[in-house]
Amino acid sequence: MQYTAYFFRIYPTDKQKELFVKTFGCARSIYNKMLADKIEHYKQTKKMLKNTPAQYKKKFPYFKEVDSLALANAQFHLEGAFSNFFQNPKFGFPNFKSKKNSRRSYTTNIVNNNIELKNGKLKLPKAGLVRVKQHREVPEGYILKAVTVSQKGSGKFYASILFEYEEEITNKEPKSFLGMDYSMHDLYVDSEGNKGEYERFYRKSEQKLKREQRKLSLMKKGSRNRAKQRIKVAKVHEKIANCRKDFMQKKSRQIANVYDCVCIENLDMKGMSQSLNFGKSVHDNAFGKFIEMLSYKLQRQGKYLVEVDKFYPSSQLCSVCGYQNKETKDLSLREWICPHCGTRHDRDINAAVNLLKEGKRLLLNQIKKNRGALGDSLL
């Protein structure tokens, strides 16, 4: 079974908006109360407390006014956070959710046909029918499983609808390969000399955003004008995010449709954003998000995304003769001539070609290994 989600904007009535906002608050509140009780119980007994939302409804009757599955999912998320922490401490200990900083959302599941998408309406528990902008059709055979209702900083409401469908993905025999090297300004440079031509949406809107944020900073906290200005700032951020997402969806689709295997370097994007004053540029092009989109598009077609180790000297190796020129460690050196064979290299294109060769080698070795294991099992 496979899973996919469709993201639609919804247009609730004033009464439905009030219910959604109340549900956001209750989901956040039950999460915090359960987390606080777990911490206190562990301090006293050194054991993990097994608590559920039902235990809080008598003391806090307002929990009964919202969808019970939203509260159950808040419990599920808390347990998942603890599970991640105990399996790998790098995830960090679960934090309390803030009213101001946390994402405003809740998730509900389908039980006895309580959720339905039909004729431009989305049926939700407690809320009833909500008008939805369904910009794409859901294929036949897709089974609705869950819905996440969220609200952006601009005040707009959205529904992410999760579907389950049955499809057997058969891995293709890789014939067309592409190497892709990260580029700060163009998003990427590939082994064929093409660039991502990313439009740097944040940089284009930076001055407008600066003006709106300056106005917001001068307004009195708690005033109506400040609330209106906050929405204006949120709309600028939302437009930047939407433009970036649209660009990356289209670009990743183009690549996934043409190539059977894409080879990239396994970079630490968070580390790059925190060093050398590259923060804004790294966050602007969102290369990590682009790779995520490309990965699932390739995977759904039975194609491959190969990650080459970040310590592989892709920029130092001559893609023609294999000579390693350690002088190219200087990032300001954009072109260099191989002292061994005399070939003139563009730094990024040369790195992309080397990533292509190494990624292709890794993939073909893995395929041979898998086929050998299959042969052994058949014997």
Rounded CA Rg of the chain: 25
The three-class DSSP label of residue 54 is helix
Active-site residue (options: 67, 212, 284, 348) = 348
CB 120 within 8 A of CB 134: yes
Distances (CA, A) of 91 to 40, 87, 136, 290: 21, 9, 36, 23
Which of 59, 78, 55 has the alpha carbon at shortest distance from 68?
55
Please name which of 183, 227, 232, 228 lies closest in space to residue 205, comparing C-alpha atoms. 232
* 262 three-class SS: strand
CB atoms within 10 A of CB 161: 22
- Catalytic residue (one of 181, 190, 284, 358): 181
Assess whether 309 carries a catalytic annotation: no
Burial class (CB in 10 A: 0-12, 13-18, 19+), 74: buried
| Helix, strand, coil fractions of the chain, as percent rounded to 5 | 45, 20, 30
Whether 238 is catalytic: no
Question: Does 186 qualify as catalytic in the annotation?
Answer: no
Are the beta carbons of 70 and 20 closer than 8 angstroms?
Answer: no
Q: How far apart are CA 114 and CA 69, in angstroms?
A: 11
Catalytic residue among 67, 265, 284, 358: 265
Residues involved in catalysis: 181, 265, 348
